[in-house]
Amino acid sequence: MTSKFANSPSEENSKNDSEGEFNLIPAALAVNALRDSGYRNTTYALAELVDNSIQAGASRVEVLCCERRIIGKKANRNIHQIGVLDNGKGMNAHELRIALQFGNGNYLTDRSGIGRFGMGLPSSSISQCRKVEVWTWQGDRSSPLYSYISIDEVTNGTLSTIPAPIISSIPKIWRHVAKTLGASGTLVVWSNLDRCMWKTARAILKHSEYAIGRMYRRFIREDKVKIRLASFVEDVSEAANKDNIDKFVNVNDPIYLMVPSSTPEPYNSSAMFEKHGDKWTVKNTILHNNEKHEIIIRFTLAKYEVRNRINPGSTPFGKHAKDNVGVSLLRADRELELETSLVGQSEPRDRWWGVELEFPPSLDEIFGVTNNKQSARNFTDVASEIEKILSENDKLGDLHEIFNEDEDPREPLVQIIHLIKRRISQMRSLLRAQSKGQYRKKPDQNGPERTATDITRERQRQGYQGTSDKEEILSSQERERDLEEALIDSGRSPSDSKMLAAKTISSDIKYIFTHENLDGSNFFAVKPVAGEILIKLNTGHPAYENLVEVLEDETITYSEAENGSKDASLARDKLQDRLNKANQGLKLLLMAWARFEDESDPPAKKQTIQDIRYQWGQFAALFLRDDQ
C-alpha cells in the first residue's frame, strides 16, 4: 500500500513544499495529538467501548484483561492486552471502516442514545494503546470481519487509510475466555498498552467496577445489560488460577436509592439514603432551538439511622459514600460525570447527600458535553463561578437580559445550579443539626419548653384558647400516633419519633422544636399537631447557622482553656452558662410568638400574622446573608 504521507513531519513538509502543496493536518502529528484526547484514565476509555456496545443493542458486555507473566518474577504478572466483547448487532464492512475513522461513526445523527460524536472507538483506544483490532460479525461468528489501526504504521507512513476488512477468525485465546459469543457481536482488542494508568488486571478491574457500576447503573438495574469483568493469563492452561477475576458489575448508585447495589452491608440490600423533602424531584423545562427539553433533578439525604452512630464516615459504607460525592450528571441514562464544583473542600458531611441531574442529548450544547463524553464543560464552568455570577447581579431575572445580549446559551444553567446550590446548603444544615444532637434531645423537664408550657396552662385557665388546644381532648394514644407521624415527616427516624412522641405527651410538654428544610424565607414555622405546637426551625435560613447552631453547639471551647490557664475551667463554665441562657431565651421568644399565633382569631388575623412572620423572615435572611 502506498502512503500519501511522508515518513516524518520534516520530510513531509519538504516534499509538499517542493510539490507546491501542504497537507492540512500531517497524519503522524494528528494521530499522536489525538492520543491526548482527554480521557481521565483507562476506565473512562473503556466506557466509550461499552457505550458502543450498548448503542449496538448488546445485552452482554465483557471486559477481558489478558496478563503476561513477568520472566524471573514467579508471582508477578502485568497487563498485556484488553478486550471488550459484546453480543450487539455487529457491523458490516462499510460500518466497520466508518467506526475506525476519527470523527466518523454509525450514530452521528442519533440523538436518542448514548453515542453520537464518532470519536469513541478510535480515540479512546489510541489514548491507551498503540494498536487496536476489531472483529465483528453478523450471523456467522465463525467468519468475522477484521480491521485495525496501528499507531506505529501511521507514524512510519505505511498506513494512511483504514485497512479494508478481511475475514479473520477470532484468536483462540479470546474464544477460550469469552462467555458471550453470540450470533452477532463485536470484539475490540487493545495491544501494546503504553498509556494504561494501571499495570495489573486487578487494578484496572477494581477501578472499572466502581466507575462502570455508577455510569451504567440504570442499564444494569433495569437488566438491559450485564457487564462481566474477567482477567486471565496469556497461557490458557492457567485458566483456573486463583488470582483470576471473574465477576459481574453491580449497581453503584451515588444517590443511594437503588437496591441491590455494591454498597457495603447492610445497605447492599436496603436503601442507605431517602428522598429529601416533598420536592425531592424537581423538573425544569429549557427552551433550546425553539423546542422544549426537560431536565430532572433529584435530591436525597442519608437516613437518620445511617449517621446515628460513632464515626459513621469510617464505616465501610461511609467510605463508599466518600467516593461518590458530587452532582451526578446523567445523559441518556448514562452518567457523564460526577461533578464536584459544588462540593465543600473541607466538608466531610457532603458524602451524606446526593444530587442527580438528568438531561437529554438534545441539550449537549447547553451543558457543553465534550466529544469524548468525559464532562459537561458549561455546567462545570457555571458551577465554579456561580457565586461570582450571582454577586454581580441583584436578581436572577437580570441575568436573562445579560446572557441574551452576549448570546450566551448558559443562562438556564445559572437557574439550575442556583437551585442545586441552595438545596445542598439546606441539606448541609440538616446534617449539622443531626450531628450536633438536636434530633436526639428529649423533652427537658426543667428547660424552656417546660417554662413555656406552664405559662400556656395558666393562660388556658384564664380563658385564652389556641388552635392547638382543640386536640388536647384526644386520647393519649391518638395524640402520640399523630405526633409520631409529624415527627417522622420532619426527618426523624421512626424509632426516635415514637419515643419522643410518647415522652412528650406523658410529660405534658406543649412545645416541640424540629429542624427541617422549609421552602421560602421563613426562619421558623408554627404547626399545631395533636394538641402540641411544633416550631419548625428552617435549616436553610441564615439565622439557623448564625443563631441556632451557635447557641446549641456543645463543643464550644474557651481560649484560656487551650492556653492552660488555672482560671480556664471557671471561664469556660461561665461562657457555657451564658450560651445556655441565650439559647433558652431564643427558644422562649420563638415559643411566645408560636402561642401568639396559635391564639390569634379570627382566621383572617391569623393569616395576617403568618404573613408578617414570613416577611420578617425575608428581612432576617437579607440582614444575615454571608455575603454582606
- Position 1 scores a pLDDT of 39
Cβ proximity of 588 and 598 under 8 Å: no
Q: Are residues 351 and 480 both part of a single domain?
A: no
Whether 282 is covered by a domain: the verdict is: yes
Whether 485 is covered by a domain: the verdict is: yes
Of 192-196, 227-231, 277-281, 395-399, the range with the lowest mean pLDDT is 395-399
Rounded-to-integer distance, Cα 200 and Cα 211, Å = 17
Retrieve residue 221's grid coordinates: 438495574
Of 301-310, 355-364, 455-464, the range with the lowest mean pLDDT is 301-310
- Position 552 scores a pLDDT of 66
Which is higher by pLDDT, 75 or 334?
334
Whether 263 is covered by a domain: the verdict is: no
Amino acid at 429: S
Which residue stretches of 20-150 are H helix?
27-34, 42-55, 93-99, 120-126
Calculate the CA dihedral of residues 256, 261, 266, 270 and round it to 10 degrees: 60
Among residues of the chain, what percentage have pLDDT more than 90?
A: 50
Q: Are residues 387 and 448 both part of a single domain?
A: no
pLDDT surpassing 60 at residue 438: no
What's the whole-number mean pLDDT along residues 126-137?
A: 96
Give the count of beta carbons closer than 10 Å to the beta carbon of residue 585.
12
Contacts of 454 (CB under 8 A, 6+ apart): none
Whether 258 is covered by a domain: the verdict is: no
Element (H, E) at 229: strand 226-233
Rounded-to-integer distance, Cα 463 and Cα 567, Å = 51
Q: How many helices (H) and strands (E) does the chain have?
A: 23, 17
The mean of the pLDDT values for the chain is 83
Instruction: Report the number of distinct structural domains present in the chain.
Output: 4
Q: Which of 101-105, 260-264, 300-304, 346-350 has the highest mean pLDDT?
A: 260-264
Whether 504 is covered by a domain: the verdict is: yes
Rounded-to-integer distance, Cα 408 and Cα 416, Å = 15
- Position 147 scores a pLDDT of 97
What's the whole-number mean pLDDT along residues 211-231?
A: 97
Q: Are residues 178 and 98 both part of a single domain?
A: yes
Q: Are residues 466 and 415 both part of a single domain?
A: no
Q: Are residues 431 and 578 both part of a single domain?
A: no
Q: Are residues 337 and 362 both part of a single domain?
A: yes
- Position 496 scores a pLDDT of 77
- Position 616 scores a pLDDT of 85
Q: Are residues 516 and 607 both part of a single domain?
A: yes
pLDDT surpassing 80 at residue 549: no
Whether 262 is covered by a domain: the verdict is: no
- Position 18 scores a pLDDT of 46
Q: Are residues 76 and 219 both part of a single domain?
A: yes
Element (H, E) at 306: helix 304-307
Q: Are residues 14 and 112 both part of a single domain?
A: no
Rounded-to-integer distance, Cα 303 and Cα 318, Å = 12
Q: Are residues 95 and 40 both part of a single domain?
A: yes
Q: Are residues 564 and 485 both part of a single domain?
A: yes
Whether 612 is covered by a domain: the verdict is: yes
Last residue of a domain, one of 181, 215, 248: 248
Rounded-to-integer distance, Cα 51 and Cα 216, Å = 9
Helix axes 568-599, 603-624, angle to 10 degrees: 150
What's the whole-number mean pLDDT along residues 265-279?
A: 91
Pairing status of strand 145-150 against strand 60-69: unpaired
Give the count of beta carbons closer than 10 Å to the beta carbon of residue 401.
11
Q: Domain range for residue 365? A: 273-435
Q: Are residues 461 and 368 both part of a single domain?
A: no
Contacts of 496 (CB under 8 A, 6+ apart): 304, 439, 440, 487
Whether 218 is covered by a domain: the verdict is: yes
